[in-house]
A and B are shown apart, each in its own frame.
Chain A
Amino acid sequence: MAKYPFLPEASKFMRELGIKISDLGKPEYRFILDRAENRIEGAILFGTTGDKSPKDDVEIPSFPIAVILVAATKNSLIRKRYALAEAKRISDLLKSEDKEKIIRIAGTFNWRMRPKARTTSTICDFTLHYTDFLKCAPVFHDKKWKLVNRQMSEGAVCLTVHEAARLLEEEIRRHIEKKLEIDVVSLPEAVMSRVSLLAQLFKEKRVVPSDKPSGEIVTSAFPPCIANLHSEIASGRNVSHIGRFALTSFLINIGMTTEEVMNLFKSLPDFNERLTRYQVEHIAGDRGSRTQYKPPRCDTLRTHGVCPSMDVMCEGVRHPLTYYRRKLRNVQRKPPI
């Protein structure tokens, strides 16, 4: 329970403790607050969650309290970082758990996961229903996470323990990140000052210089040229230099983070982490000149063969970004079948 503080038992335990937010400033909660703060510091500084407290009545409540503190920073980057650190911690634990435990945790997210015995021809510890698999797997760009490369029968996808832990990590990360979106109205002053210290710490340590929120990326509103490049890259095919440039600058301009763009390129056969990062950061303006690049105009893309086939919306448009913004405004619909 102390290990998996998002499980229903942990919430019950919390209710029994009966902690009120307005009481958090009181001295008896100091240890819990300390541990909560320690979790967040760990996440900010090292991407971990600090050292576990040996006392359950400190360790368990420290998680929901940390959630409140992080939410109170109202900083989406701290939220992301904290959710990731907690999810990583849990996924590392899961890798050494027995199958029943993993299945129980998957069950709390309504995943249809079943145990399976390995055979000589298959390495399969679990099966997971494909609809559950597809909730998280597509964010990983490695080819082995594509459904077409999985062993599947009767809707059940084979997974190893490691893979199951990795998938759950992503689900838990999202789950925690959602929890962190709660609106924290008022905290006792003593607690609030801890929150500002944490926010301060984050500002100083921050590695990602970009301040703009990573907006929601609506792939269905991509112009044909970008959609094409995007799916080529995502399926691991190589594209021309101008193609890469157009795609990267487009994605950065519509609010993707450098990290997210990097992830996309990871599936390329000739992926070179250092070089790609350099290029992406350069385009994003994180580096060198600090100017953020815009994608080329349509006529340039056309002469370089990056404009595959225009659709109706392309006709009144000279720039792929204009296309995207227009299409976002009116969710266009395709003809019936």
Chain B
Amino acid sequence: MDSVSAKFIHDRFSDYYRINLSTIQPPSAIEKREFGFILFKERMMVRHKAFRTVERLRDFLKEIVPSDAYYSSAYYELPEEKMEAKGRLGTDLIFDIDADHISTPCQKTHDRWICRGCGHNSKGLPPETCPSCGYEKFEEKSWMCEICLDSAKNETIKLIDFLMKDFGYSSEEIDVSFSGHRGYHVSVEKNEVHALDQVARREIVDYIIGIGIEPELHGLSERPERGTRIIAGPSLDALGWRGRIARGTYELLLSSAPQDLRNMGIKPKTASAISKHSERLLRSWKDEGPWSVVRDVGAESWMKLALYGVEKESAKIDTVVTTDIHRLIRLENTLHGKTGLKKAKVAATSIEGFDPFESAVAFKKGTAKVKISSAPQFRLGDESYGPYQNETVELPTAVALLLLCKRRAKMV
């Protein structure tokens, strides 16, 4: 990055921490947390930091003006020591939902990857290996678009539903925030989760993603009754995964054409039987459920459909983050180095109406003139901007900063 642009970004971050310092809140038990910061200059991570009070943390932020600031999900006896000597006391239960892990139709239009081996590049998410040279490292140029962030939000809403209904946490016990870039972070800090080990956390992950689920163990089965075989399954209002399986399968039937069903591996005969009786199937749901309405649909087909139902109901969380008991997480109300947006808290109950492009904007005043190489159309606050292609524009500070941080523009 050229030095003028770099200085502009650094100066704005510096303004932010000067003016908004009081909005920086300490994580619970601040003195037991490890902090880490990425410095602008060296793009280097300073870690193993600890602060006894929030004032010290704020002073530090104001003084060094980091491009990113993190705290540990873990509590340590000696947070400043090396990893082996820290003495972990426990870890919050954390979740990360990142648009990168959810496939959306628009990814292909706004994301690019460039092979670090040969420079080959293409649209969408990077492949496992480069098709032209076989190398496995890529530079990714992603964009944060509304559709992607909306689907991340939907997954977050599903996750919150799991945490409240199945895991029994109240909305006050669930911390939710927009990460400032492409996703949402959710955490539960209640004491009872601190001691969960990695295996236990893996089980929680599997629960939320529906990995290893057996519809049979949730009551979907074929059993003989009065001389014939009938299919029985969970009811719509059942608790836990039972009801979720039923509702997911219901949604699936509502939204699938015979062709879709065939693509799911359902035999043509069965698929057409399902759509022929779709009226009856859907009506039946009000009472005992659809499981045995159509004679041509056997247990095997229902199992398949139920697993697609599970897929619909599960929340697409990042599996690695939740099982990692030493992760660093971005600190709330600090700026994201890749966007200049802030990590913004949102109440678990009002996430539905939350607008990240509004709430995460950290600068409301001033303008800057930038030369934009390319950027798709996007919105920030109430205004819409772009698309841009090799042009110089005067833009509000937050918008200019976003393009500069994303390396789509330069200061002029």
**B195 nearest CB neighbor, chain A only:** A131
Determine if B79 is an interface residue (Cβ-Cβ < 8 Å).
no
Which residues of B pack against A, CB within 8 Å?
A: 36, 68, 70, 83-84, 94, 96, 98, 128, 136, 165-169, 179, 185, 192-193, 195-196, 198-200, 202-204, 206-207, 210-214, 217-219, 235, 238-242, 318, 320-321, 324, 326-330
Of the candidates B168, B212, B217, B318, the one whose C-beta lies within 8 Å of that of A155 is B168
Size of the chain A interface, CB-CB below 8 angstroms: 33
* Shortest Cβ distance from residue A217 to the other chain B in the assembled complex, whole angstroms: 11
User: Could you tell me if B326 and A148 are in contact, using CB atoms closer than 8 angstroms?
Assistant: no
Give the distance in Å from the alpha carbon of A270 to the alpha carbon of B342 in the complex: 52
Which residues of A (133-191) have their CB < 8 Å from a CB of B? 134-135, 137-138, 143-144, 146-156
21 pairs, A vs B, C-beta closer than 8 Å: A121-B238, A131-B193, A134-B196, A134-B203, A134-B204, A135-B200, A138-B200, A146-B212, A147-B203, A148-B206, A151-B218, A151-B241, A154-B165, A155-B168, A309-B128, A330-B83, A331-B326, A336-B36, A336-B329, A337-B179, A337-B321
Determine if A212 is an interface residue (Cβ-Cβ < 8 Å).
no
Given A155-B168, A334-B327, A337-B179 in contact, is the A219-B198 Cβ separation under 8 Å? yes
Instruction: Kindly list chain A residues whose C-beta atoms are within 8 Å of the C-beta of B166.
Output: 152-155
Give the distance in Å from the alpha carbon of A130 to the alpha carbon of B203 in the complex: 10
Q: Mark A226-267, 1 if CB is under 8 A from B, else 0.
A: 000000000110000000000000000000000000000000
Instruction: Kindly list chain B residues whose C-beta atoms are within 8 Å of the C-beta of A144.
Output: 214, 217
Instruction: Kindly list chain B residues whose C-beta atoms are within 8 Å of the C-beta of A96.
Output: none
User: Could you tell me if A149 and B199 are in contact, using CB atoms closer than 8 angstroms?
Assistant: no
Instruction: Kindly list chain B residues whose C-beta atoms are within 8 Å of the C-beta of A309.
Output: 128, 136
**B200 nearest CB neighbor, chain A only:** A134
User: Could you tell me if A148 and B207 are in contact, using CB atoms closer than 8 angstroms?
Assistant: yes
The majority secondary structure among interface residues of chain B is mixed
Which residues of A pack against B, CB within 8 Å?
A: 121, 129-131, 134-135, 137-138, 143-144, 146-156, 219-220, 235-236, 309-310, 330-331, 333-334, 336-337
Most buried by B among A154, A236, A334, A336: A336
* Shortest Cβ distance from residue B210 to the other chain A in the assembled complex, whole angstroms: 6
Give the distance in Å from the alpha carbon of A236 to the alpha carbon of B213 in the complex: 11
Give the distance in Å from the alpha carbon of A108 to the alpha carbon of B206 in the complex: 29
User: Could you tell me if B179 and A147 are in contact, using CB atoms closer than 8 angstroms?
Assistant: no
Give the distance in Å from the alpha carbon of A152 to the alpha carbon of B203 in the complex: 13
Instruction: Kindly list chain B residues whose C-beta atoms are within 8 Å of the C-beta of A146.
Output: 203, 206, 212-213
User: Could you tell me if A148 and B200 are in contact, using CB atoms closer than 8 angstroms?
Assistant: no
Closest 6 pairs between A and B when the two form their complex, measured CB to CB: A155-B168, A336-B328, A134-B200, A154-B168, A153-B239, A149-B217
Give the distance in Å from the alpha carbon of A138 to the alpha carbon of B200 in the complex: 7
Instruction: Kindly list chain B residues whose C-beta atoms are within 8 Å of the C-beta of A137.
Output: 203
**A236 nearest CB neighbor, chain B only:** B212
* Shortest Cβ distance from residue A305 to the other chain B in the assembled complex, whole angstroms: 12
Give the distance in Å from the alpha carbon of A219 to the alpha carbon of B325 in the complex: 13
Give the distance in Å from the alpha carbon of A154 to the alpha carbon of B163 in the complex: 9
Given A153-B239, A337-B330 in contact, is the A147-B206 Cβ separation under 8 Å? yes
Give the distance in Å from the alpha carbon of A137 to the alpha carbon of B204 in the complex: 12
Give the distance in Å from the alpha carbon of A156 to the alpha carbon of B330 in the complex: 31
User: Could you tell me if A337 and B327 are in contact, using CB atoms closer than 8 angstroms?
Assistant: yes
Give the distance in Å from the alpha carbon of A219 to the alpha carbon of B179 in the complex: 29
* Shortest Cβ distance from residue B110 to the other chain A in the assembled complex, whole angstroms: 22
Instruction: Kindly list chain B residues whose C-beta atoms are within 8 Å of the C-beta of A143.
Output: 212, 214, 217
Instruction: Kindly list chain A residues whose C-beta atoms are within 8 Å of the C-beta of B329.
Output: 336-337
Give the distance in Å from the alpha carbon of A334 to the alpha carbon of B83 in the complex: 12
Of the candidates B98, B213, B235, the one whose C-beta lies within 8 Å of that of A149 is B213
Q: Told that A146-B213, A331-B83, A337-B318 touch, could you supply 6 new A-B pairs with CB distance under 8 A?
A: A134-B204, A146-B206, A148-B203, A310-B136, A337-B94, A337-B329
User: Could you tell me if A149 and B212 are in contact, using CB atoms closer than 8 angstroms?
Assistant: yes
Of the candidates A121, A148, A236, the one whose C-beta lies within 8 Å of that of B210 is A148
User: Could you tell me if B203 and A331 are in contact, using CB atoms closer than 8 angstroms?
Assistant: no
Instruction: Kindly list chain B residues whose C-beta atoms are within 8 Å of the C-beta of A219.
Output: 198-199
User: Could you tell me if B192 and A131 are in contact, using CB atoms closer than 8 angstroms?
Assistant: yes
User: Could you tell me if A337 and B328 are in contact, using CB atoms closer than 8 angstroms?
Assistant: yes
Given A130-B167, A155-B167, A337-B329 in contact, is the A235-B212 Cβ separation under 8 Å? yes
Given A147-B203, A337-B96, A337-B328 in contact, is the A152-B240 Cβ separation under 8 Å? yes
Give the distance in Å from the alpha carbon of A236 to the alpha carbon of B214 in the complex: 11
Instruction: Kindly list chain A residues whose C-beta atoms are within 8 Å of the C-beta of B68.
Output: 336
Instruction: Kindly list chain A residues whose C-beta atoms are within 8 Å of the C-beta of B167.
Output: 130, 152, 154-155
* Shortest Cβ distance from residue B287 to the other chain A in the assembled complex, whole angstroms: 14
User: Could you tell me if A333 and B83 are in contact, using CB atoms closer than 8 angstroms?
Assistant: yes
User: Could you tell me if B193 and A155 are in contact, using CB atoms closer than 8 angstroms?
Assistant: no
Instruction: Kindly list chain A residues whose C-beta atoms are within 8 Å of the C-beta of B179.
Output: 337
Instruction: Kindly list chain B residues whose C-beta atoms are within 8 Å of the C-beta of A153.
Output: 165-166, 168, 239-240
User: Could you tell me if B239 and A131 are in contact, using CB atoms closer than 8 angstroms?
Assistant: no
User: Could you tell me if B198 and A148 are in contact, using CB atoms closer than 8 angstroms?
Assistant: no
**A220 nearest CB neighbor, chain B only:** B198
Give the distance in Å from the alpha carbon of A129 to the alpha carbon of B185 in the complex: 25
User: Could you tell me if B326 and A333 are in contact, using CB atoms closer than 8 angstroms?
Assistant: yes
User: Could you tell me if A148 and B327 are in contact, using CB atoms closer than 8 angstroms?
Assistant: no
